[in-house]
Amino acid sequence: MLYALLCYNNEAAVCGLSKEDDEAMMSRVRAAEEKIVAKSKFGPRLRLMPTTAATFVKAGQDPLVIDGPFAETKEQLLGFWIVDCASLEDAIEAGKHLAREREFGGVEVRPISAYIPPAEVT
């Protein structure tokens, strides 16, 4: 089963880290990833650009395009991992490994339901 491990954190705090502190944090994340690989397979691992680089397309009959940032919460989605785990418990354990390496924020574990449209008929 595929799961998304969504990294939520305080964007201002993360963006305010020194280069050395950011590298140290990412080193801890890589160490946590190595523990996860023992039980699960990794798919993409992506770090998102800051919300100030975001563009939002608001739903409706005439979609409205708005420049970011939009997050009005203390924590923003900053990146994610896609993992193939045997069970939800294994995915939660993977999330715990990643959460242990953080001083703040957290990791949301969400099952992925793949949408694969049928082949178009010609």
pTM of the entire structure? 0.79
| Separation of alpha carbons 29 and 35, rounded Å | 10
3 secondary structure, DSSP code:
E
Is the distance from CB of 103 to CB of 16 less than 8 angstroms?
no
pLDDT in tens, 37-75: 888 888 888 888 888 888 888 788 888 888 766 656 677
pLDDT in tens, 8-17: 888 888 889 9
Calculate the average pLDDT of the chain: 85
Is the distance from CB of 78 to CB of 48 less than 8 angstroms?
yes
Q: What is the structure's pLDDT at 18?
A: 94
